Structure 1
Amino acid sequence: MGKKGDKGEVKEAKEVKVKEQSTLKVEVSTSEIEALKQKLVLTGEEIKKIGVEAELLVGGKNYNTAIISTIENVRAPQFRAISSVAFHKLLDETKVNASVIRRVVDKEYDAIDWNDSEVNKDPEFLRKFVRNLAKKIKEHPERNASQVKLRTFINNVVDGFATSPEGIDQLRKRSVMVQVAILSVDLPKEVEEEVRQAYRDICKEAGEENVPVAVRSSAAGEDSRKKAFAGLQDTYLNIVGENEVVEAYHWDCASAYNLRSMTYRREAILDALAKAEATGDENLALEAKKEWAIENTSLSVCIMRMINPVVSGTAFSADTATGCRGTERKDLVSIDASYGLGEAVVSGMVTPDKFYVFQRDDGEEVVIRFMGFKDKKIVYDESGSGTKVVKVPEDMACRWALSLAQAEMVAKGVRAISKAYGGMIMDTEFCIDEYDRLWFVQARPETRWNEELEKHPHTIFMRRLEVDPKFLNNVEVILEGNGASRGAGQGVVKFLRSALELNKIAKGDVLAAERTDPDMVPGMRIASAILADAGGDTSHAAITSRELGIPAIIGIQRLEVLRSLDGQEVTVDASRGKVYRGLIPLVEVGGEIDTSKLPATKTKVGLILADVGQAMFLSRLREVEDFEVGLLRAEFMLGNIGVHPLALEAYDQGRLNGIVQKKLEELENRLTKIIKEQLASGIVSLDLKLRKYVGIITGLKQKVKELNEIEGGKGTEEVLAIHRQIRELDHKWDQYLDKATNYLDLLKTSIDLKEHIVAILGYKEELVTLVGKEPEMEQRKQEITEEVEEIYQKIKSDPYVLEVQEKIRSLREEIALKSGLKKEMDEIRELPSKIKSILKAKGYRTGKELYVQTLAQGLALFAMAFYGKPIVYRTTDYKSNEYRNLVGGSLFEEHEDNPMLGYRGVSRGIHDWELEAFKLARGAYGGKNLQLMLPFVRTLEEARSMKRYLADVHQLKSGEDGLKLILMSEIPSNAILAKQFIQEFDGFSIGSNDMTQLVLGTDRDNARLRHIYDEEDPAVVWAILVTIFTGQKYGKKVGFCGQGVSNSKIIRGLVCIAGIVSASVVPDTYAQTKFDIAEVEK
């Protein structure tokens, strides 16, 4: 039976206190409470009677289960808490032969090659190894001689563990020795009987015999309040029967001393020692050694009735990656869900479906969802206790794990639990059974964001390493996945098959694994970055990397490629979800933004944003009174779609295959032209042995051969006749050879054998003349077709014909590869199937649905993150080269010499799907704070035409439902005719980058002209000022989007003094810009 980790996160030190527990405390006498504290098994009611102090006895899991079982409309399964009193009875009332245990463990442990692939392949190897050793010791003849108390033996073994310089293998041996000792003794009779009775009681309450239960560890004691031990000890699922429950309880007791639990305490002490040395405060070290001593280990166990789930998962009352809590109502619930038991989600075995649920102003629920990769599930093992992993049918894997109604149901339950805990961010686990009943099987206060929001309610911590953007144009992307923890790291990849290979990891390496588990935490702490092939936002890899502040990419779903990177240097760009080959320069960016200390400014300071995750991370900026998002770029969200909208449209309309075929023909013709040029210039050569080839196709070679074979034995006259026939055939052969020579380019470049036959037999010229529809012509064309087909069938398997065809094919492939055409042709050829796969993987039926939903949901999350603050969405301003880089882009985009001045902006038009997505985000998804901005509007007629189109076709009118239409003022014509343009819109937003390049006639992508590109140039300043003054004259808002305000004192001073309404910058410069503008305005 396999062990499944409970919850994989390692959390920061924090004493989490439930804010509203008074209703849970039942009035009882002191004597009754003291009596309850001595019990070995406690019910939920008894835990409530004891009150907060019960957490010391039964640990957080049991204590929180008792709380959620009292919450109205929240369903929790029956459970019993085996108190830590039972654990200490085990340690204090049993004895072991220390010498026997040491001898047996030393011998057997040292005989194992811990780097052996077979050992590392089996995730249960270590547990089976421990249990086998315990069995040997139980049967050892000297077992009962010279015994010492179990606790004494354990303390002797773990003495000095916290500060020992031993390597991971020797530390693991100590852990094994303790676990073997615990499992080698029998449980005290009283403890065993109480555990049995607890199981019987659960069965009785459930109304059935042999109920499957989960036997889960629940770390107890004072230190469990200060650090989360979730997932460090063992959990066993689908345990059926009294004997099996007793055995699982015993296993859990041993897991209190597994390596990850012991190293967790060790690392807490080592952290304190490092801090003590850095600060000179010796008390920090002394207190930590006392507080985190392994001798303090205490364990309670939760025995809970198991629900047989259809769907399970985790749900948080905030976004796990960013701490965003939704609107001002703190209504966001983040859900990860998959099929079967929830261990598949929390262990990172699958990438679950992601759901965000929040409320519109009218109380209606909004559900945003993203498809995961749910190819496996964990289910009960019907053959007995335990669980097994089974495949999910392909059609089921591509369906949503939760319906919209179920997602809303989970969200309401999580909000009720959060409310019971005084509004804290809660981390819950849930499941839905076959009767569509929702069960919450676990809940606890989340520590990372609760702690940060309690200690630093107004501070956003942004300092981190990122890939230097100057080098991003020349990187090789090896892998892509979900960035679970922002930032960048680099180093040598060390792929771990299991935690038994932790000795491979050195400080600064990139830790890679199919998925991580709590045993890997010691290696994760020293890694520069983490890569996990599977997992979602609440998997162990995701949560632990965020807690440790280490960049991580999860859900890569390319295991073999990830394995192959072992030993190679890579750069992990977790902010973008990409892995680059080699070491790319990193830069430190960001800082801390304390919203309570930002100065008040007359000029509003906003943000330029593109990434939803970054927006949610920065959501607390809405606390700033004058905050806004002055520019929300569409391109990043459309990049997540990854496919050209016209390719999606053609796919939906059934036209894509035809377009693909036409493009392939065009590329084949281009390839043929290149081959001809290279053949003519002698760069490549191809000898067809043309005479032989023509002879085979015409059949003349075979006829001559047959005549030569019958020559012997004939008379003179007959021989002469044969010779005449041969000469005639040779002459005919020469004629065909002459015709073939005229088509030598075709014969050397085309792999169409029928085309060769037509050319060599001279039918090519004749077919050109057969253009009419007269019966005679149609008949002749039919005759030629039939004759060509007949010859084709005769010669298609001829060895030399096959050899010629292979030569031509090889030549085409070689030149296609060298010219780059092969890659383009392969991509285009695979386009229809690739789009089909993308739609299936993301849970959409049509290209339109993919495009509209992806964009609308992204916009909705932006609107939620900055609820109540204006967000100016700029419609797509991809240049043709950027569109061309999308899947299918080469089918619809021409090469432009200067895309900066080419087919872009409103001249290209706004795709109807984009406008539908915008309307969906403002309507059904409640994003009323979204405004619309038009980019690169060249002329007044373009402006007016687009306004009419928005109003007449899409009912998007300025002033209706709070909508504002804004012009991106970035072309000299916008400034020159500012008076006319401003009357068409609700305001301007100055795009300083394009305005500068167009006023000065430079290309900002051209390195040679970089010295000319200057935002402070008088001509550019004139364009900026005239735009601002025109807006003031007509009482309309003018904003500024660009780094000029943060980078240039002159621009900053000019726009502020001129009276610009707002200036938007990138997040890393937001706080400093706010201070700089305040200084200007003094």
Structure 2
Amino acid sequence: MSKEFILWFDDIGMEDVPRVGGKSASLGEMTKAEVPVPYGFTTTAHAYQFFLEHSELTSVLEELLRELKDPEDTETLQKVGKSIRKTITEAGMPKELETAIRKAYEELTKKYQKEGGSGEPYVAVRSSATAEDLPDASFAGQQETYLNVVGADELVERVQECFASLFTDRAIYYRIQKGFDHLEVALAAAVQLMVFSEAAGVMFTLNVSNGDRDVVQIEAAYGLGEYVVQGTVTPDVYYAEKEDFALNKIISTKDVMLIRKEKGGVEEKTVPKTKREKQVLSDEQIVQLAEYGISIEEHYKKPMDIEWGLDERTGKLWILQARPETAWAGKAPAKAAEVEITEERKVIVKGLPASPGMVAGKASVILNVSDINKFQQGDILVTEMTAPDWVPAMKKAKAIVTNSGGMTCHAAIVSREMQIPCIVATKNATDIIQNGQDITVDAVNGVVYEGILKEAVAKKEEEKAVMAEVFPVTGTKVLMNLGDPDLADKYAELPCDGIGLMREEFIWTTFIHEHPNYLIEVGQSEKVVDMLAEGFRRVAKALYPRPVVLRLSDFKTSEYSDLKGGEKYEPEEPSSLLGWRGASRYYDPEYVDAFKLELEAVKKVREEFRLKNLWVMIPFCRTVEECEKVITIMKEEGLERGPDFKIWLMAEIPSNIILADKFSEYVDGFSVGSNDLTMLILGADRDNDRIAHIFDERDLAVRRAIHHLIQAAHKHGKTVSICGQAPSVYPEFTSFLIKSGIDSVSVNPDAVKSTKHLVAQVEQRIMLEKATGRGIPEDTDLEW
């Protein structure tokens, strides 16, 4: 009889789910596969059924369940659940079953002592339902788990409480929703040696936020893992690439932890201040855990949801349980809410069309960056103006509408890169558009309509078969601007020759969120290096072997102040646009240590990840002496110009143009930042609506400066590119650049294909004119 009540882990596998439930069967399966699982045994479904029959509970449960006519009736659900649990826990445990449990615990004690343990072992008792952990039905977390149980008496009590937990309110509700018969589902109790966890958590063999199966996602916190599973603490989150175990880490603040008590039971304790913001697992432990996860996934041949623990006595990582991951197993898209469709075109707001497209949806009016957590995926963002710390919300937006700004403001630039419609300079969108209002954004014509236009939601016609697009080879390279590393894989297939401008600031605002000096002060310098390196790596890997030119940090003081801890380190400046930014920070005693962390991240990508296609660019460098200081620091940190490592200078200040011959001594090339260069040559604030008509990169003064730079750079054997917005917006400007002899142009992703064709046409026209002696005379106004 006892053989029917108890089975050991090494005697069972996944074929035994009907006998021992999903959790116990999985523990047995992993034990046989030599995954490091704490050893133990399980009661069986037969034992549970025997308990109900011997205690004459079946008819009692049926009668109580009949009282629950509507599962949405919360009050009745709670009343019925409580009555059933009380009935089960107060029933007597059948003698035969109790004896079998005690005998199994005695055998486990002998094994424990034989392997060096003393006294009776502490165990974890985990509920295992026979319909649990199936691909289409996740019962996870609906039944109870009891930790740090010691002694046969307490174990018998906990097993009986596990039986009762089959009727928690959420379990009853879930079974009704899934169509399971309450009395057809049985419960087993898995009893396994307790891991004395100094750290624990969960692991998924995919990214649970987007279903990406190329990564392992690990969540870690101090103490026992129950607080991670329950959501009581915000754990560290680590992402490990399955291909090469490259790591991306998000370190959280862990204030409390659940720990085991020496004499049984558990209690909550405060995490010591010195550990709260430290990384829970070492990089080596993360990789080891990820390897376990990949092995388990390969064994089960499906994505898995795994719980793990790090034993404080031995430093060994243990796998506590594993089940199929259900969120992405057969996930259907959420059903869209019905909206009223209109054909009436009632214009409520007008502005500048900064990024083309037409979409309809719900407006979300956000006035303060502190409220962006309220922004929902797929809404239309309506605000005064965006800045780098708005990027997390912008990534969720279907479209963006702002009160202020011009064609080169933050909202415009980022929207074009993300390829989402954007209208800027509406003046009063936040006053006219109501939060939650249905609107249609026509960013081709720069207008916002009231309601959902039929035209915006009409189904697209089935695409006709077309010939594959062919792109000509050009002498002038066409590069691409990129800020968000998450978009690298998406845009890598475009016919570009590399990245001409990778903006580092996106990584700070989207992933790091904290001021570098603050992180240095709290001992988390490694976080800066790791997270920057991960962002750089993603882009360099996606584009390899094409070059990726990283613009080193170019936040203004006002933007640095918005990062956590930033106010302590940033001065108040009357004009941060012309203040402490770019190269002037890199050698400043108050920032140089932070700059060295950027360089360390670059070096890590080039040397550890062997992505030698990562180059760098120095922004906003005012003087030749400043450039020399920065180059010296880079050399001291192991980044020296050579055949496979180029250093560019962003030419965005008139001094860069006037002294191009002097700057050429320290760099390999220049990249024109046409936005700031135009502003400083014309003395026109590019974000000022009042004088927006003056700000124009096509002005003769700007073109003459760029033409001179190209001539001076080429005279000294240096290359010239451009990474401002002008080539993406004005085709005639691109034509001027090519005729001036520029080496490359870097444009937004949406302009890569058209620019590639335009460059080819201009180059062919130049060759034709030279061959025939005919054509438009050179523009003599360009000469300096």
TM-score range, shorter chain: 0.5 to 0.7
The residue type equivalent to 1:377 in the other structure is M
| 1:232 equivalent in alignment to 2:142 | yes
Given candidates 470, 482, 488, the residue that maps to 1:608 is 482
In 2 relative to 1, CA 181–952 (structure 1 residues): closer, same or farther, beyond 3 Å? closer
> Whole-Å Cα distance in 1 between the matches of residues 37 and 44 of structure 2?
20
Letter in 1 for 2:200: S
**8 Å CA contact retained: 1:309, 1:341:** yes
Corresponding residue for residue 601 of structure 2: 921
Residues 916, 476 of structure 1: alpha-carbon distance in 2 compared, 3 angstrom cutoff: closer
Return the letter of the residue paired with 1:245: L
Contact (CA 8 Å) 1:59, 1:224: kept in 2 or not?
no
Aligned counterparts of 2:304 and 2:733: Cα–Cα separation in 1: 43
- Higher-Rg member (1/2): 1
CA shift, 1:306, in A, is 0.9
Q: 1:432 aligns with which of 311, 322, 325?
A: 311
1:749 alignment counterpart? none
- What is the rounded CA distance, in whole Å, between the counterparts of 1:1048 and 1:294 in structure 2? 68
| Cα separation, 2, equivalents of 1:917 and 1:452 | 41
Alpha-carbon shift at residue 304 of structure 1 (Å):
1.5
Instruction: Give distance in 2, aligned partners of 1:182 and 1:1017.
Output: 84
Query: Which of the residues 632, 641, 646 maps onto 1:949?
Result: 632
The residue identity in structure 1 corresponding to 2:683 is G
CA distance in 2 between counterparts of 1:65 and 1:1004 reads 63
Alignment map for 1:552-951 (pairs within 5 Å):
606=480, 608-609=482-483, 615=485, 617-618=486-487, 620-621=489-490, 624=493, 630-635=500-505, 842=522, 844=523, 850=524, 852-866=525-539, 868=541, 869=543, 870-882=547-559, 893=571, 895-896=573-574, 898-907=575-584, 909-910=586-587, 911-924=591-604, 926-929=608-611, 930-938=614-622, 941=624, 945=628, 948-950=631-633
Q: Which has the higher strand share?
A: 2
The equivalent of 2:258 in structure 1 is: 378
Q: Which moved more, 1:227-236 or 1:438-447?
A: 438-447
Amino acid at match of 1:993: N
Q: Are 2:105 and 1:199 aligned?
A: yes
Residue 604 of structure 1: CA displacement?
6.3
Distance 1:435 1:584 in 2: 56
Q: Does 1:47 align with 2:12?
A: yes
Percent pairwise identity: 27
Matches within 5 A, 1:296-335: 297-317=185-205, 321=209, 334-335=217-218
Is the 8 Å Cα contact of residues 47 and 66 (structure 1) preserved in structure 2? yes
1:361-440 counterparts in 2 under 5 A? 372-383=252-263, 385-395=264-274, 397=276, 401-403=280-282, 405-422=284-301, 424=303, 427-440=306-319
The separation in 2 between residues aligned to 1:907 and 1:445, in whole angstroms, is 53
SS at 2:140 equivalent: coil
- Distance in 2 of aligned mates of 1:448 and 1:599: 38
Note the 1:179-194 alignment, pairs <5 A: 179-187=85-93, 191-194=97-100
Q: In structure 2, how many angstroms separate the alpha carbons of the residues matched to 1:436 and 1:259?
A: 38
8 Å CA contact retained: 2:22, 2:129: yes
Report the Cα offset of residue 387 of structure 1.
1.6
Q: Could you tell me which amino acid in structure 2 is paired with residue 341 of structure 1?
A: L
Q: Indicate conservation of the 8 Å contact 1:376/1:392, yes or no.
A: yes
Distance 1:324 1:175, change over 3 A: same
The answer to whether the 8 Å contact 2:216/2:242 transfers is no
**Contact 1:158-1:294 within 8 A present in 2 as well:** no
2:20 is matched with: 58
Counterpart secondary structure, 2:41: strand
1:264–1:606 CA distance, 2 compared to 1 (3 A):
farther
Unpaired runs of 5+ in structure 1? 1-34, 97-147, 270-287, 454-462, 491-548, 551-582, 592-596, 649-834, 845-849
Cross-structure match for 1:341 = 224
* Matched residue SS, 1:225: coil
Please say if residues 431 and 441 of structure 1, whose CA atoms lie closer than 8 Å, have aligned partners that are also in contact: no
Distance 2:146 2:139 in 1: 16
Cα distance per residue 1:361-387 (max 9 Å; x no partner): 7xxx8777665434433233344x422
Encode CA deviations 1:635-662: one digit per residue, 9 max, x unaligned. Answer: 45567888877xx5xxxxxxxxxxxxxx
Q: Contact 2:227/2:233 (CA < 8 Å) preserved in 1?
A: yes
Aligned AA (1:621) = K
TM-fit CA distance, 1:862: 1.1
Aligned to 1:1040: 723
- Equivalent residue number for residue 31 of structure 2: 69
| 1:77 Cα deviation after fit | 0.8
AA partner of residue 12 (structure 2): I
Deviation by residue 1:300-354 (Cα, 9 ceiling, x = unmatched): 33221212233333344555556667xxxx5x65544343322233333334455
Runs of 5+ unmatched residues, structure 2: 333-358, 381-395, 398-433, 444-456, 458-465, 762-784
**Residues 1051, 984 of structure 1: alpha-carbon distance in 2 compared, 3 angstrom cutoff:** same
- Asked if 1:1005 is matched to 2:683, the reply is no
Q: Cα deviations across residues 874-920 of structure 1 (Å, max 9, x unaligned)?
A: 22223354456675768874633x43244533355555324422342
CA distance in 2 between counterparts of 1:76 and 1:61 reads 12
Report if aligned partners of 1:65, 1:443 keep a CA contact under 8 Å in 2: yes
**Shift of residue 226 of structure 1?**
0.6
Q: 1:151, CA displacement in angstroms?
A: 5.4
SS of match in other structure, 2:155? helix
Q: Distance in 2 between matches of 1:1056 and 1:260?
A: 67
Aligned residue identity for 2:230: S
Separation in 2, partners of 1:345, 1:203? 29
SS, match of residue 224 in structure 1: coil
* DSSP 3-state at the match of 2:167: coil
Deviations 1:214-270 (A, max 9, x none): 11122323883313222122111122233332322222222222222233345xx5x
Alignment CA distance shift 1:423-1:94 (3 Å): closer
Q: Which residue, out of 320, 326, 346, partners 1:441?
A: 320
**What displacement does 1:859 show?**
1.6
Query: Structure 2 matches for 1:457-468, cutoff 5 A?
Result: none
Instruction: Report the residue type matching 2:503 in the other structure.
Output: R
Deviation at 1:1003, TM superposition (A): 0.4
* Distance of 2:318 and 2:154 partners within structure 1: 24
Residues 864 and 231 (structure 1), Cα distance of their counterparts in 2 relative to 1, 3 Å cut = farther
Correspondence for 1:169: 75
Contact (CA 8 Å) 2:363, 2:435: kept in 1 or not?
yes
> How many equivalent pairs are there?
636
The residue number in structure 1 matching 2:167 is 257
Alpha-carbon distance between aligned partners in 1 of 2:528 and 2:634, rounded to the nearest angstrom: 21
CA contact (8 A) 1:219 1:300 kept: yes
Q: 1:636 to 1:156 in 2, by over 3 A?
A: same
1:994 corresponds, among 663, 672, 676, to: 676
Q: CA deviation at 1:932?
A: 0.9
Q: 1:972–1:998: 8 Å Cα contact kept in structure 2?
A: yes
The normalised TM-score by structure 2 is 0.65
Please give the secondary structure, in 2, of the residue aligned with 1:431.
Answer: strand
Q: Which has the higher contact order (CA 8 A, sep 6+)?
A: 1
Tell me, yes or no, if the aligned pair for 1:212 and 1:239 is still in contact at 8 Å.
yes
Aligned counterparts of 1:607 and 1:486: Cα–Cα separation in 2: 27
Q: Is the 8 A contact 2:133 2:324 kept in 1?
A: no
Letter in 2 for 1:376: V
Post-superposition Cα deviations, 1:813-840, rounded to whole Å, max 9, x if no partner, equal xxxxxxxxxxxxxxxxxxxxxx6xx767
1:437, distance to aligned residue in structure 2 (A): 2.7
User: Match for residue 498 of structure 1?
Assistant: none
Can you list the C-alpha shifts for 1:645-700, whole angstroms capped at 9, x where unaligned? 7xx5xxxxxxxxxxxxxxxxxxxxxxxxxxxxxxxxxxxxxxxxxxxxxxxxxxxx
Q: 1:201 to 1:264 in 2, by over 3 A?
A: same
Structure 2 residue 24 is matched with structure 1 residue 81: no
The answer to whether the aligner puts 1:149 opposite 2:59 as a matched pair is: yes
How many Å apart are 1:149 and its aligned residue? 2.0
- SS of 1:993's equivalent in the other structure is helix
* Structure 2 CA distance for partners of 1:890 and 1:219, relative to 1, 3 Å: closer
